[in-house]
Amino acid sequence: MSVLKSFIAGQWVGEKPAKALPSAVNGEIVAHTHDDTLDFKNAVEYGRRVGGKNLMAMDFQERALALKAMALYLQEHKKELYALSMHTGSTKGDNGIDIDGGFGTLFSYASMGRRELPSGNVVHEGPVTPLGKNNHFAGTHILVPRGGVAVHIDAYNFPVWGMLEKFAPTFLAGMPSIVKPATSTCYVTELAVRLMQESGALPEGSLQLIIGSTGDLFDHLEEQDVVTFTGSAATARKLRNHPNIINRSIPFNAEADSLNSAILAPDVTPEHEEFDVFVKEIRREMTAKAGQKCTAIRRIFVPKDQVNAVCDKLKEQLSKITVGDPSVEGVRMGALASIDQLEDVKANIQELLKTSELVVGGEGNFKATGDGTEKGAFIEPHLLLCRNPESGCGAHDIEAFGPVATVIPYDTVEDAVELCSKGRGSLVTTLTTRDPAIAGRVAPLLAAFHGRLHLLDAEAAKESTGHGSPLPMLKHGGPGRAGGGEELGGIRAVHHYLQRTAIQGSPSMLAAVTREYVRGADLIETDVHPFRRHFEDLQINESLLTHRRTVTEADIVNFGCLSGDHFYMHFDEIAARDSQFGKRIAHGYFVLSAAAGLFVYPGEGPVLANYGLDTLRFIEPVAPGDTIRARLTCKRKIDQGRTSPDGHPQGVVVWDVQVHNQNDEMVASYDILTLVAKKPE
């Protein structure tokens, strides 16, 4: 008899069987939870002490690399996860969303971390704001790891992705995680955690797993900890009101059930490609994961005169869906995750039917495909129609967490927005229209009560990732009933696990804290040109003040001829005299090029390439007769552990460049991004 184990304080714990977990497909027991009592006080202390310490021994860049290593290892063992996950009722396509989607999230955070986070464990969130008249006192913000543990409680529908989308940004931030998957599908999460453990990329204490109840865990949480939750609004309410969460102001992020929508705009009729795209999207959302997605479409808003056309088309499409054992060839929709969930969905359909009629579904002759499926948690797609939403519509309140959606007619698109808002805050709505003017008018109205909007037309449909897909780079979560929380959204998700702190002080102090050059900080100037230093030897604040150059009319003419830029400001004496500058001025790009000519070290050296500019501003005009000089200062160093194509280790160096004129006025300001070689071994 297989007993699942928790992974607590570095040990796999669990001998005695407790709850039997049946397969959603045929009712056979897949595994048991364990009955052993867990020491949660020890778990959180171990997380902070051992996990926190090990994570802090790495930096953002190293943790990003570790995420990638875990993702690669998991990918090698994908088949094992797929095989086990079939018992949750998931088809191959569903597993793609959960399992490959989970790996994809790890890969995404690995690459976002490498690209967007610094070396070290301090994120500088600029800009630096001068707070005194003479730049002796300034302020900025830093983000640092919180030092506590993150408790992640997940729903049953995505046992892999659900865990990984929370774990990835937490790990990158340097915070240990304690994950608690929903019991009904926790056997898949247990396998994923075992594989992550086996990968060798997971520092000790950085991930713990709870199988079963959270016991007195919440009593042991402290101010530096964080809780995130995905599941029902009722549980979210209960947990966020736990006295210890309230008393210690512990951040609590919730993503709860949501009544998401699809709106067919009045400009789309059955002759348009968009009509088919709309219907296809609904069919996909109703049947993927058997409708058990927090983002699935529950309400379908359709112009009154299109109701019959939409219902007919959906009826036709849904009738082609074969429901049954996911391992049987041709099966398109699997089971709900458990018999309990099936009973829940059936009860909710009965509630919905108090204000709606049935278009597709009903007990009838439904029989799931495959042997033993009579003991499984199968249900066919149910399409409902609420003809008179003005006299009440249960679909605005009741979430049947399965393949169930309700068509709701509307008069004008503004009415559709009004009806949509009755969901009291949703994760996502798809608006299908051919008319950008409708999208432009309606999307801002919808945005006020949504976490995400998916604007669907024939063009977007060619590449759309779909209504229901939360993407690592975009925010997931929604206001009000959807939980009021936020997950993902690129590197912002990492910020949820970092403490943002304002720092005030002299520029030199700010530079020391942010590990970045801050204008006004003490400079390091030596006889060695900074471009001659290898990555390791270069110091932040190391600086070069160049010789001067007087700009001439010949420079302007030569640059104009070379670049082909004969803009009147540089070449038309009369027009330039009438302009705000009152005279001809040099091209901004000339100033940029001239500055490079002033500061580069021309010989071969460790600076390998210039790959771009950031924050470029031309501040004052430069005219013939003006004399410019540049200051180049090492601003930031990032060690991404990269090597050049020919195998030489290198790092990223960002340089602050300021160009001044003869009156000491700044004429141009920017950062240049370079690749600098490390010392030969």
Binding flag, residue 54, ligand NDP (CB under 6 A): no
User: Left, alpha or beta for 678 (phi > 0: left; psi -120 to 50: alpha)?
Assistant: beta
User: Annotated catalytic residue: which of 165, 190, 255, 486?
Assistant: 255
In this chain, which of 232, 464, 506, 640 binds ligand NDP, going by CB under 6 A? 232
Distance (Å) of CA 410 to CA 21, 345, 638: 44, 26, 55
Among 256, 262, 359, 393, binds ligand NDP (CB under 6 A): 256
Question: Interface residues for ligand NDP in 275-314 (CB under 6 A)?
Answer: 294
> Per CB under 6 A, does 156 bind ligand NDP?
yes
Chain centroid, CA 131 distance in Å:
34
- Compute the least distance from the CB of residue 74 to ligand NDP, in Å: 21
Query: DSSP alpha helices (H): ranges in 199-358?
Result: 233-240, 243-247, 273-287, 307-318, 339-352
Q: Which of 94, 154, 165, 487 binds ligand NDP (CB under 6 A)?
A: 154
Could you tell me the smallest distance in angstroms from the CB atom of residue 213 to ligand NDP? 6
**Closer CB to ligand NDP, residue 422 or residue 434?**
422
**Residue 194: enclosing H or E segment and its boundaries?**
helix 186-198
Specify the residue, 405 or 569, whose C-beta has the smaller distance to ligand NDP: 405
Q: Which residues contact 280 (CB under 8 A, 6 or more apart)?
A: 317
Nearest to 672 by CA among 656, 651, 660: 656
Report yes or no: 333 and 91 within 8 Å, Cβ to Cβ.
yes
- Residues 376-415 as x/- pattern, contact with ligand NDP by CB under 6 A: -----------------------x-x--------------
**Nearest position to ligand NDP, beta carbon:** 231
Listed ranges 90-98, 178-186, 418-426, 504-512: which one lies at the site for ligand NDP (CB under 6 A): 178-186
Helix (H, G, I), strand (E, B) or coil at 190: helix
Catalytic residue among 190, 281, 294, 420: 294
Instruction: Show Cβ contacts of residue 375 under 8 Å, excluding neighbours closer than 6 positions.
Output: 22, 26, 27
| Closest distance of CB 185 from ligand NDP, Å | 9
Instruction: Using the minimum distance from each CB to ligand NDP, give the nearer residue, 156 or 535.
Output: 156
Distances (CA, A) of 523 to 140, 356, 516, 539, 632: 19, 73, 12, 10, 11
> Token pair for residue 300?
């379908």
Say whether residue 182 binds ligand NDP (CB under 6 A).
yes
Smallest distance from the beta carbon of 654 to ligand NDP, in angstroms? 39
Q: Are residues 379 and 417 in contact, defined by beta-carbon separation less than 8 angstroms?
A: no
Nearer to ligand NDP, 422 or 642 (CB): 422
Q: Which is nearer to ligand NDP, 488 or 675 (CB)?
A: 488
Min dist. Cβ of residue 181 to ligand NDP (A):
6
Minimal distance, residue 225 CB to ligand NDP, in Å = 15
* 54 vs 214, beta carbon nearer ligand NDP: 214
Measured distance CA(254)–CA(249) in Å, rounded? 15
Candidates 89, 113, 145, 231: give the one binding ligand NDP (CB under 6 A): 231
Q: How far apart are CA 519 and CA 507, in angstroms?
A: 7
At 122, list the tokens. Answer: 């301090």
Residue located via tokens 């709106």: 263
Closer residue to ligand NDP in complex, CB, 166/635: 166
Beta strands, E only, 73-147: 123-130, 138-145
| Interface stretch with ligand NDP, choices 249-257, 357-365, 511-519, 542-550 (CB under 6 A) | 249-257
Cα separations (Å) of 440 from 158, 410, 455, 490? 34, 19, 10, 25
| Candidate residues 157, 189, 260, 317; the one interacting with ligand NDP per rule CB under 6 A | 157
Q: Is 230 in the site for ligand NDP (CB under 6 A)?
A: yes
Q: Which two tokens stand for residue 153?
A: 């409680």
Q: How far is the CB of 239 from ligand NDP (least distance, A)?
A: 6
Stretch that binds ligand NDP, among 103-111, 251-259, 387-395, 433-441 (CB under 6 A): 251-259
Piece of 170-178, 234-242, 567-575, 596-604 that binds ligand NDP (CB under 6 A): 234-242
Q: Which two tokens stand for residue 42?
A: 């020890």
Single-letter code of the amino acid located at 130:
P
Phi/psi of residue 277, nearest 5 degrees: -65, -40
Q: Is 294 a catalytic residue?
A: yes
Contact stretch for ligand NDP (CB under 6 A) within 228-236, 408-416, 532-540, 543-551: 228-236
Chain position carrying tokens 């054992």:
325
Q: Which is nearer to ligand NDP, 157 or 674 (CB)?
A: 157
Q: Give 374's DSSP letter.
A: G
User: Under the criterion CB under 6 A, does residue 244 sit at the interface with ligand NDP?
Assistant: no
15 is catalytic: no
Please list the residues that pair with 123 across neighbouring strands. 143
For residues 430 and 124, what is the distance between their CA atoms, to the nearest angstrom?
37
Closer to ligand NDP by Cβ: residue 104 or 483: 483
Q: Taking CA 11 as the corner, what is the angle to CA 9 and CA 12, rounded to the nearest 5 degrees? A: 130
Angle, CA 556 vertex, CA 554 and CA 559 arms, to 5°? 105
- Nearest distance, CB of residue 658 and ligand NDP, angstroms: 49
Q: Tell me the number of residues near ligand NDP by CB under 6 A.
A: 23
Structure token digits, residue 539 = 């110091």
3-state SS track over 427-442: EEEEEECCCHHHHHHH
Instruction: Find, among 438, 461, 427, the residue nearest to 278 by Cα.
Output: 461
- Candidates 165, 190, 255, 325: give the one binding ligand NDP (CB under 6 A): 255
Among 26, 75, 111, 183, binds ligand NDP (CB under 6 A): 183
Contact call for residue 469 and ligand NDP (CB under 6 A): no
Which CB atom, from 155 or from 352, has the smaller least distance to ligand NDP? 155
Choices 155-163, 189-197, 365-373, 411-419 (CB under 6 A): range interacting with ligand NDP: 155-163
Closest contact distance (angstroms) between CB of 420 and ligand NDP is 18
Separation of alpha carbons 155 and 258, rounded Å: 13
Name the segment binding ligand NDP (CB under 6 A); options: 85-93, 181-189, 263-271, 646-654: 181-189
Nearer to ligand NDP, 261 or 541 (CB): 261
Q: Are 337 and 157 in contact (CB under 8 A)?
A: yes
Stretches 219-227, 235-243, 516-524, 530-538: which one binds ligand NDP (CB under 6 A)? 235-243
Choosing from 26, 214, 469, 508, the residue that interacts with ligand NDP (CB under 6 A) is: 214
Task: Identify which range of 41-49, 74-82, 174-182, 440-448 contacts ligand NDP by CB under 6 A.
Answer: 174-182
Residues 612-648: b if buried by 16+ CB within 10 A, e if exposed: eeeeeebebbbbbebebbbbbbbbbbbbbeeeeeeee
The packing angle between helices 553-563 and 588-599, to 10°, is: 100
- Asked if 228 interacts with ligand NDP (CB under 6 A), we say no
Q: Which residues contact 426 (CB under 8 A, 6 or more apart)?
A: 258, 259, 260, 261, 420, 449, 450, 451, 478, 480, 481, 482
Q: Given the complex with ligand NDP, which of 178 and 632 has the nearer CB atom?
A: 178
Angstrom distance (rounded) from CA 358 to CA 361: 7
| Binding of ligand NDP by 180 (CB under 6 A) | yes
Contact flag: residue 516 with ligand NDP (CB under 6 A): no
Using CB under 6 A as the criterion, which residues of the chain lie in contact with ligand NDP when the complex forms? 153-157, 180-183, 214, 230-232, 235, 238-239, 255-257, 294, 344, 399, 401
Active site residues: 255, 294
